[in-house]
A and B are shown apart, each in its own frame.
Chain A
Amino acid sequence: KQEVTQIPAALSVPEGENLVLNCSFTDSAIYNLQWFRQDPGKGLTSLLLIQSSQREQTSGRLNASLDKSSGRSTLYIAASQPGDSATYLCAVRTNYGQNFVFGPGTRLSVLP
């Protein structure tokens, strides 16, 4: 059974810092991995999708990497801004599954 963990659970940084969020999964037989952002009281916004055949994806100040063999993905946020404050969730889609398994999220606060 696929299990997804995220470290750290919470992170507080001053504005302008570069930061890395970590996601680990137990079963490397994944189809893809998706990073989401959730603002308080809001829905999930898709940030990046990495297919199992890819090693990284970039969108603006965000870069997500994937290492299937070690069961890890990282989300790199460059030059963080207060508007980046949110909970970041990673979700793994397995090869055999029809759903996404979510991690518990990392709550990020970027201080002005």
Chain B
Amino acid sequence: DTAVSQTPKYLVTQMGNDKSIKCEQNLGHDTMYWYKQDSKKFLKIMFSYNNKELIINETVPNRFSPKSPDKAHLNLHINSLELGDSAVYFCASSQDPGLVPRGVENTEAFFGQGTRLTVV
């Protein structure tokens, strides 16, 4: 079973369109993330959700809106797509260190396979 799964794997769309990327984790984690990997392969945090609540919102345009219907899902909706949005988007999950019982330190992060978004 895939721990963190994203769909679609590839997404090619025209400028100005609205698109969504879905992410699901079956690890029982309470924290989920969206990362963007640019053309130079650098990974940067975009959003972090803990138990469906937004924790981190880095400097990301308002056109990007994450939605977490439950703690196992964190979807990314992008409005009015621009050429510069072309990148690989990774979803990840982990257990929040603050919620891990003492003596249990398994806060390892698991990543999805990525969604390669190409805006033309």
Contacts and interface: CB of A to CB of B under 8 A. Distances in A.
Interface of A: 31-32, 34, 36, 38, 41-46, 49, 51, 87, 89, 91, 93, 97-102, 104-105
A87 B111 CA distance: 15
20 contacts: A32-B105, A34-B108, A34-B109, A42-B113, A44-B111, A45-B111, A46-B111, A49-B108, A87-B41, A91-B43, A91-B109, A93-B109, A97-B56, A99-B33, A99-B56, A100-B33, A100-B45, A100-B92, A102-B42, A102-B44
Most buried by A among B43, B96, B97: B43
**Main secondary structure on B side of the interface with A:** strand
A98 B108 contact: no
Contacts of A104: 40-42
Contacts of B116: 41
Contacts, number: 59
A99 B111 contact: no
B34 to A, nearest CB: 10
Q: Give the top 9 A-B pairs by smallest Cβ distance, nearest first.
A: A43-B113, A44-B111, A102-B43, A99-B45, A98-B55, A49-B108, A98-B48, A43-B114, A99-B48
Given A43-B90, A99-B33, A93 B107 contact: yes
Contacts of B31: 98
